[in-house]
Amino acid sequence: MLDEFALDVRRLVYDGAIERCTIPSIAELAAQSGASREKVERALRELAEAHQLVLQRDGGEVLMANPFSAVPTPFVVTIGDRSWYGNCIWDGMGIAAMIGADARIDASCGCCGSAMMLAIPGHCDDGDARVAHFAIPAAHWWDDIVFN
């Protein structure tokens, strides 16, 4: 069970990702929460252990707050004049769903590197089914979340 402060830190991470299109640093989270850097680092480790976030190996900064990436990736989601990085195409679609508006995802083919663009409508009717293929089954994504 996550403690209340860890949940507050998680909310700050996602608020930053959604509102400012960037994941806040440990220093920013400490300033926003009024807590010490050490307390924020403990909360981030707790969140990572619960698979709520992925931390960078060096320094403990947030690497992924799924579906958002803290670092540039080949999956750029653009909605209006704002853009975010997704960790993969699935996460790119997740960002579009979270924001709930028409989105464009610019990506590249994992096999050949060709540029690809996916348009995501902000609203889909039940009859607007789409099919996607993922090379790694979802049950194995957390086996090595950074490289799968």
Q: Residue ranges per domain, the chain?
A: 4-63, 75-132
Task: Please state which CATH number belongs to domain 4-63.
Answer: 1.10.10
Q: What is the pLDDT of residues 42-74, one digit of tens each?
A: 999 999 999 999 999 999 999 999 999 999 999
pLDDT at 22: 95
CATH class of 75-132: alpha beta
Tokens (6 digits) for 69: 């990436």
State how far the Cα of 92 lies from the Cα of 144, in Å rounded to an integer: 19
Tell me the pTM. Answer: 0.85
Q: What is the pLDDT of residues 106-135, one digit of tens each?
A: 998 777 888 999 888 877 666 666 666 677
